[in-house]
């Protein structure tokens, strides 16, 4: 019995099948390469981001340390000024009391003049 169904171009069909398989492998390899490059780029970006974050963190620590130093210096200066004022008030109690009384009188006079 003769085979009634035989492709008219058996070699062409085989070649087309091989070409389709080759094309599928090429697409698969290209996709794998693209994924690999994407991972590399993402890894590089993450590494750079970590470096930038570390740099920013170090700069932030330096600024915070400098601010703490300024605050400490300001607190020390204010404490010294308060001690000097307190010492002056202790040494010149009568003068300070008269000055406070005079300022009170002056403020009282200004307030009563404005209210009239």
Give me the pLDDT at residue 3, please.
Answer: 57
| 66 in any annotated domain | yes
Residue 62 lies in a domain: yes
- Is pLDDT at 67 greater than 90 in this prediction? yes
Helical packing angle, 93-115 and 10-91, nearest 10°: 110
Report pLDDT digits (tens) over 24-60. 888 888 888 888 888 888 888 888 888 888 888 899 9
User: What does the pLDDT look like over 15-25, one tens digit per residue?
Assistant: 778 888 888 88
Q: How far is it, in rounded angstroms, from Cα 42 to Cα 79?
A: 54
Instruction: Quote the pLDDT of residue 116.
Output: 59
Q: Which are the contacts of 96, defined by CB distance < 8 A and separation ≥ 6?
A: 88, 89
d(CA 90, CA 94): 9
Residue 89 lies in a domain: yes
Does residue 47 sit within a domain? yes
Examine residue 75 and state whether it is found in any structural domain, yes or no.
Answer: yes
Domain count, the chain: 1
Q: Which domain holds residue 38?
A: 10-115
Is 111 contained in some domain? yes
Indicate whether 5 belongs to any domain: no
């Amino acid at each position: 019995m003769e085979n009634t169904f035989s492709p008219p171009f058996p070699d062409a069909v085989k070649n087309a099948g091989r070409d389709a398989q080759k094309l599928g492998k090429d697409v698969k390899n290209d996709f794998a390469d693209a994924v690999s490059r994407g991972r590399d780029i993402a890894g590089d970006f993450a590494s750079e981001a970590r470096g930038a974050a570390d740099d920013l963190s170090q700069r932030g620590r330096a600024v915070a340390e400098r601010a703490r130093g300024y605050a400490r210096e300001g607190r020390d200066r204010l404490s010294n000024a308060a001690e000097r004022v307190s010492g002056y008030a202790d040494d010149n109690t009568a003068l300070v009391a008269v000055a406070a009384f005079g300022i009170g009188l002056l403020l009282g006079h200004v307030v009563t003049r404005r209210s009239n």
